[in-house]
Amino acid sequence: MKILFFASLRELMGDSIELDIQLPVSLETLRSEIQQAHPEHADYFRPSRTLAAVNQTIAQDSQIINDADEVAFFPPVTGG
């Protein structure tokens, strides 16, 4: 599974990572797997710090991810 990162997360993780995980899984499980694979950045993948999109639509942690889905993580955006 390919996972994309945007904004400041891209600076930490690069453009994307490949993660070998049994699908389907919930977004919550995927977050946990990323935190375990990259413990130095685990804090950035808490739901309160990072938004996620599945197939370019904002997703909740209960969202089920399948093999063909595109998953992206990004920090919340503020405007002003």
Would residue 66 count as lying in a domain?
yes
pLDDT tens, residue by residue, 21-69: 899 999 999 999 999 999 999 999 998 999 999 999 999 999 999 999 9
Would residue 17 count as lying in a domain?
yes
CATH number (domain holding residue 47): 3.10.20.30
Would residue 79 count as lying in a domain?
no
Task: Tally the domains of the chain.
Answer: 1
Q: Encode burial over 34-46: b for 16+ CB neighbours within 10 A, e otherwise.
A: beeeeeeeeebbe
Would residue 9 count as lying in a domain?
yes
- Report whether pLDDT(19) > 90: no
Residue 69: give the domain boundaries.
2-74
Would residue 42 count as lying in a domain?
yes
Would residue 35 count as lying in a domain?
yes
When pLDDT is averaged across residues 4-21 and rounded to a whole number, the result is: 90
8 DSSP 8-state letter? H
